[in-house]
Amino acid sequence: MTAITLAPGLVYYPDYLDRQAQEQLLQSLREITRAAPLYTPRMPRTGKPFSVRMTNCGRLGWVSDIDGYRYQPMHPETGEPWPVMPDQVMQAWTAMSGYPHPPDACLINFYEPSARMGLHQDKDEEEFDAPVVSLSLGDTALFRYGGLERKDPTRSIRLKSGDAIVFGGPARLIHHGIDRLIPGSSDLLPQGGRLNLTLRKVEKPL
């Protein structure tokens, strides 16, 4: 497993999932979205829709709506509990997180070819000692990362299907986002686009 340190605490694992593993994970995600359909989150206060659709698996799921950002144990539209995380996802956490407790949430974002994600911090969790582990499937994304302040200089890297990246330690709260996708760069998803999974430990362990 190749590991490339992009910045202190920010580690890139190119080709973490081979093609067979990507297809296996995609099949698991199809089962998850049948039970917990993709939906469009909205910005707090304004209600403006995100350009990505999303769902979750695990004990908790991240949601955003007019009332704010939060984690909750049920799908906001179906009211059903989130599906269980696939073993493959748990194995990725064990392999890359260096953290002794399992994740509470796996956020699944689906990017249409035109979708993007502005610079933001993942800071709705209680436990910042645990990293965020991210897995990419589908079209290559131009991933931008900066520092703890929004005005800090940024750099970019292309995340392709099967790549993983981990934010931990001093990089746990860095600003990051997706500037754009490179359409047609992967044939994994028949309709194009990108799936991104981020594994998170939300609550402090007892």
Encode the chain (206 residues) as per-residue pLDDT tens digits: 899 999 999 999 999 999 999 999 999 999 999 999 999 999 998 989 999 999 999 999 999 999 999 999 999 999 999 999 999 999 999 999 999 999 999 999 999 998 989 999 999 999 999 999 999 999 999 999 999 999 999 999 999 999 999 999 999 999 999 999 999 999 999 999 999 999 999 999 98
- Residues 92, 7, 129: CA angle, nearest 5 degrees: 55
pLDDT at 157: 97
Residue pointed to by tokens 């890139």: 12
- Superfamily name and number for 4-200: Alpha-ketoglutarate-dependent dioxygenase AlkB-like (2.60.120.590)
Asked whether 15 and 162 are in contact (CB, 8 A), the reply is yes
pLDDT at 206: 82
Q: How far apart are CA 202 and CA 60, in angstroms?
A: 8
pTM for the model stands at: 0.95
Q: How far apart are CA 141 and CA 161, in angstroms?
A: 9
pLDDT at 45: 84
146: helix, strand or coil: coil
Indicate the helix (H) or strand (E) that contains 197: strand 194-200
